[in-house]
């Protein structure tokens, strides 16, 4: 089982993560500490789980070869090379294209989940974390492109996993992404096609999720694009904000988390 009492975070330099209360977590982060990724399981992204993203496809969603909106969740794996922690420095592969910065709610699984019903889904959730799901901007949404979504550092997680009891309304949380302190892009988890419980039910109908795994609620349509030299601050509800900086390959020090 993946169990936490309050706020789990892993400051750089510590051998193990810390499970601390909200005040202690805030004090640590206020000092500007960098953090390692607070989870160790598999991380799955979810596509087309935002109503605005589906609307933006227009008639294309009814075109061949699919001819209809997806009837099941469209998932993709964020492999381990993509994992990065709070205050990571992530390489921009091509500054002309930039990197799309999607803030997504990460649902952290607490125990083995197979064919979980909607009414019991909350019993399988240990907590929530903030996932910076990064990608090179592209238009192919039905077949997630590994080359564009699985670059080193393209899944920034943290800084903390917050126990589920502290997140009363995961389906109605404000989302914000600000580049360099400018006016943020804003959205909400309320625009999800599948809410948290329905997503877990639909995913575990065909695959098992294990303790410590993370499945994201999905990136919101219109998320901003960062370029070399930008710093993004991501926030969702009252979860501790996540900070990531973007650098060119010649500035990168080889560490992602």
- Could you tell me the CATH number of the domain that includes residue 210? 3.90.850.10
Is 257 a domain residue? no
Asked whether residue 22 is domain-assigned, the answer is yes
In a domain, 181, yes or no: yes
Q: For residue 245, is it within any domain?
A: yes
121 strand-pairing partners: none
Per-residue pLDDT for the chain (257 aa), expressed as one digit of tens each? 999 999 999 999 999 999 999 999 999 999 999 999 999 999 999 999 999 988 888 887 787 766 788 888 999 999 999 999 999 999 999 999 999 999 999 999 999 999 999 999 999 999 999 999 999 998 766 666 888 999 999 999 999 999 999 999 999 999 999 999 999 999 999 999 999 999 999 999 999 999 999 999 999 999 999 999 999 999 999 999 999 999 998 875 544 43
pTM of whole model > 0.85?
yes
pLDDT (0 to 100) of residue 224: 97
Domain-embedded: residue 1: no
CA 143 to chain centroid, in Å, comes to 19
Q: Is residue 171 part of a domain?
A: yes
Token pair for residue 34?
């960098």
Domain that holds residue 246: 7-251
Q: How many CB atoms lie within 10 A of CB 117?
A: 12
Indicate whether 100 belongs to any domain: yes
CA separation for the pair 76, 141 (Å, rounded): 11
Has residue 2 been placed in a domain?
no
**Domain count of the chain?**
1
């Amino acid at each position: 089982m993946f169990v936490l009492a309050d706020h789990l975070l892993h400051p750089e330099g510590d051998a193990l993560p810390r499970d601390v209360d909200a005040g202690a977590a805030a004090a640590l982060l206020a000092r500007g500490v960098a953090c390692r990724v607070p989870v160790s399981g598999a991380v799955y992204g979810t596509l087309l789980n935002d109503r605005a993203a589906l609307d933006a496809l227009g008639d294309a969603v009814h075109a061949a070869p699919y001819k209809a909106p997806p009837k099941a969740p469209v998932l993709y794996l964020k492999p381990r090379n993509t994992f990065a922690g709070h205050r990571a420095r992530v390489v921009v592969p091509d500054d002309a294209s930039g990197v799309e910065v999607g803030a997504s709610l990460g649902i952290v699984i607490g125990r083995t989940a197979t064919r979980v019903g909607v009414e019991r889904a909350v019993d399988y959730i240990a907590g929530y974390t903030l996932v910076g799901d990064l990608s090179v901007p592209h238009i192919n949404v039905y077949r997630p492109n590994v080359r564009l979504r699985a670059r080193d550092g393209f899944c920034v997680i943290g800084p903390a996993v917050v126990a589920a009891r502290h997140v009363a309304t995961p389906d109605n949380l404000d989302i914000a992404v600000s580049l360099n302190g400018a006016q943020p892009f804003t959205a909400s988890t309320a625009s999800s096609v599948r809410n948290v419980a329905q997503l877990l039910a639909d995913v575990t109908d065909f695959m098992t999720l294990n303790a410590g795994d993370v499945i994201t609620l999905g990136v919101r349509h219109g998320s901003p694009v960062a370029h070399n030299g930008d710093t993004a601050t991501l926030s969702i509800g009252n979860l501790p904000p996540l900070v990531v900086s973007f650098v060119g390959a010649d500035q990168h020090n080889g560490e992602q988390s």
